Amino acid sequence: MSEAKSPYGYRYIGSHRRTKEDPRFVTGRGRYAADIALPGLKHVALVASPHASARILSIRTDAARAAPGVYYVLTGDEFCAATDSLPIGVDAPKVTRWALAREQVRYAGEWVAAVVADSRALAEDAAELIEVEYEPLPHVTDPEQAMADDSPLVHPAHGSNIILHRHFVWGPVEDELARAEHQLTFRATWNRNATVPIETFAVAAQWNPATEILDVWASIQMPKYPDQTAKALRLPGNAVRVHFDVDVGGSYGVKRGLKHTVLVGYLAKRLGMPVRLIEDRLENMRGGDMHGPDRTFDMTAAFDSDGTIRALKIRAVDNVGAYAGRAPFQLGKPVSAICGPYRIGAITYEPVSVLTNKTPQEAVRGFGQSPTNFALERTMDHVAQFLNMDRIALRQKNLIRKDEFPYTIPSGSTYDSGDYHAVLDKALAAIDYPALVRRRDAARKAGLLAGIGISTCLEPSGGNSAFEPLLNPKNETTTWMDSCLVRVDLSGAITGIMSTSSSGQGHETLVSTVVGEILERDPAQIRVIHADSLNALPSNSPVGSRMAIMLGGAAAGAARRIKDTLIAIAAHNLECAKEDLDYRDGNVSLKGVPEKALSWDQLVEIAHRKFHQMPPDIEPGLQAKFVWEVPTGGGLPTPDGRVQIYPCYAFEAHIVYVEIDPETATPSIKQYVCGHDCGVMINPDIVHGMTYGGIAHGIGAALYEHFTYDDDGQLTSGTFMDYLLPSALEVPSILIVDHCTPSPLTTFGQKGSGEAGYLGAPAAVANAVNDALAPLGVEINTLPMSHLAIWETLSKAIRDAKSYAPKS
């Protein structure tokens, strides 16, 4: 195996090294939730509402109960009485939510009944025998209509369809608007998509009446999942044991099946049998509650003729669907980078979260930042177009300069570090921008529609979840720790123990690399395991691009404590001060006297077996834990909503070249370069992989992916035949250009990168398509810019101006 040298001067960090996880996956030996074989396992099938809104008049289950292989049929009446509502993050306590509807269904696909049987097939047979009588009610799927006085209410008890509405003013916005030479206003729309992992959500649970523990195996990526499962089941937290060693088949934010887990946990306990639910694809798309932001931005920019942006006004209305957990907080993350990478001194932000009869949202990669970046980057292009100014020059003029960091934006977040101009320059050089312009112009001359798109975007990372108190003053969450336990056993082997599950981010590689770096021991020999929730240290989960920072920092902290212990043991035995010792490869020697030394093996043996050789104040054995709060700590927001949520800010500059066939309106991405700076990369292959994947996901959001609804409130893209995921034929070859501005706040200078690529790709692709359309005098500000949307825009342009002359 090849191991390139670290560009940062580290021993292991930053070099090409194989991951610990890949070998088990290429041999088919991953262990996913659907692979957990429990003796006597029973299977769940679901009955889903065919109506977007309806009263449940009756549910007849007799025939299903009598069907072969059936153990139980559960409906909302029993389930909602026996369990508590799932938590809601914003201040809307009457917007209650259970896995099974009671009395009323609020979206098409909502679960109404669950059948438990010997096999999924038998459970489905029985589910078909359940007769539900509904009285259809008026429904609403459009958020503007839902805010009207005469709208049907999704949750009448709440009294309104608005569950969050704030108005933040940061800086002298009205003054700047008055002073600016120009203003422009436009609307940008980000339609519903999601990360749509190839693995649907799966959960198995088993209740042990002797120990009174509910064991849970799930494809989960969710903070506070064990606690919230226990609470909804009215169990103490120590009665739920979530096994974090389950491999998760992709998540990117959405694998948060709390409702699934409470349902399956309840059934497993009620029946005294292990029970499993694996969503089928339609259940996942329609009732899995994993859709992402569905958001309209009304943007106003105030600017001068020289391109200086003075102020922004942003109104963001998000259609959150029929229920809400953490999803409305996706309007909060963007506060932490509300002006993007630009020097803009005054901003208003009006986030509104609206309930409708669509599938509920869940957290999606970027947690609302990618839609916001799309709106910001469309704004930059609109301003450039208005001023007839070069888009790159406009960005270069407004980008925060390298010497201005740390830089505090109007909403109170301080950006840690960056060199945005250098990254953009590198990307422009890598794509040979003048040649790219010539290529575009030649393509236009040849009759194609061709466009170049640029975006310069931020990825806030490693947050403390302070968007919770920002958007709900009754919620004082500011702690968002992660932890690691490092143990050296009697044989001298090292084990790192992390306390969450992973869904492809390579955390075992992360921990072993960091621990190996600190202890100067080969990461290939370091084992990393995932604790279960009952023996886990306090941790959250791999959300918000946090693990390189938080788990990496915790693993380093624990390893440093081990190293300190080894040095203390050596000092005690060599009868010298700790400062007089050298630590190398795990061995400790007296400075300048290498023969006065204790080896790794000797030190480990003293720690484990020779108490008489131990310093008096050190515990025997050799293990250390480290629990870390985010580097900038946690503080409550100021009354005017200024807050530091994320400590670190990565930057990405995308340059995309798109050609559109004028005959078919089919867009095709021909060149793609992404300049990326996420500080020190602990494993560059992992960072690059996530960035490529984020770009592909962003291409999907820009051009293909859309949860569409018809007038009856029915999801019309519930399969992969109509919800289009980009394949290797749509995603082009991508060139990533690295740059490194270390973060001053983290252990090794790393920043987060789990959402990389996705935060800038939709904006860049959208800008490229619009550059291609610009000669026709038309534009699209709505994502996805589907083939059909481009076709309709082209057709209209050609109808409107039969003899158009291209501007350039």
Q: Which residues bind other proteins (CB under 8 A)?
A: 1-2, 18-19, 21-30, 32, 34-35, 37, 68, 121, 195-200, 247-252, 278, 280-281, 503-506, 685-686, 688-697, 719-721, 725, 727-729, 731, 733-734, 757
Q: Least distance (Å) from other proteins to the CB of residue 687?
A: 10
Residue spans of alpha helices (H) in 173-213:
173-179
Q: Which is nearer to other proteins, 251 or 767 (CB)?
A: 251
Angle, in degrees to the nearest 10, between helices 225-232 and 258-271 = 50
Judge whether 697 and 29 are in contact, CB under 8 Å: no
Minimum distance of other proteins from residue 315's CB (angstroms): 32
What is the end-to-end Cα distance of the chain in Å, rounded? 51
From the CB of 29, what's the least distance to other proteins, in Å? 7
Name the minimum Å distance from CB 37 to other proteins: 7
Who contacts 415 (Cβ-Cβ below 8 Å, separation ≥6)? Answer: 400, 405, 406, 407, 408, 409, 458, 649
CB of 23 to other proteins, least distance (A): 6
The residues, any chain, with a CB within 8 Å of residue 372's CB and separated by 6 or more, are 297, 314, 316, 334, 337, 338
β-strands 213-218, 42-48 pairing? unpaired
Nearest distance from residue 754's CB to other proteins, in Å?
10
Q: Which residue number, 68 or 538, has a Cβ lying nearer to other proteins?
A: 68
Q: Which is nearer to other proteins, 42 or 310 (CB)?
A: 42
Q: SS3 of 756, please?
A: coil
| Rg of the chain (C-alpha set) | 28
Q: Which is nearer to other proteins, 151 or 683 (CB)?
A: 683
Closest CA relative to residue 188, chosen from 745, 659, 701: 701
Residue whose CB is less far from other proteins, 200 or 483: 200
Closer residue to other proteins in complex, CB, 485/686: 686
Shortest Cβ 775–other proteins spacing (Å): 30
Q: Which is nearer to other proteins, 226 or 700 (CB)?
A: 700
- Type of residue found at 618: I
What is the length of the chain?
808
Closest separation in Å from C-beta 267 to other proteins: 20
Torsion of CA 538, 541, 542, 548, to 10 degrees: -10
Based on CB atoms, which residue is closest to other proteins, 90 or 734?
Answer: 734
Helices (H), ranges, 159-221: 173-179
Please answer whether residues 144 and 95 qualify as being in contact, where contact means their C-beta atoms are separated by less than 8 angstroms. no
The least CB distance from residue 683 to other proteins, in Å, is: 8
Task: Pick between residue 109 and residue 694 the one whose CB is nearest to other proteins.
Answer: 694
Q: Give burial (CB, 10 Å; 0-12/13-18/19+) of 165.
A: middle
- Least Å from the CB of residue 722 to other proteins: 10
Query: By C-beta, is 121 or 442 nearer to other proteins?
Result: 121
Q: What are phi and psi of 782, to 5 degrees?
A: -120, 130
Angle, helix 420-431 to helix 433-445, in steps of 10 degrees: 50
Asked if 747 and 647 count as a contact pair (C-beta separation under 8 A), the reply is no
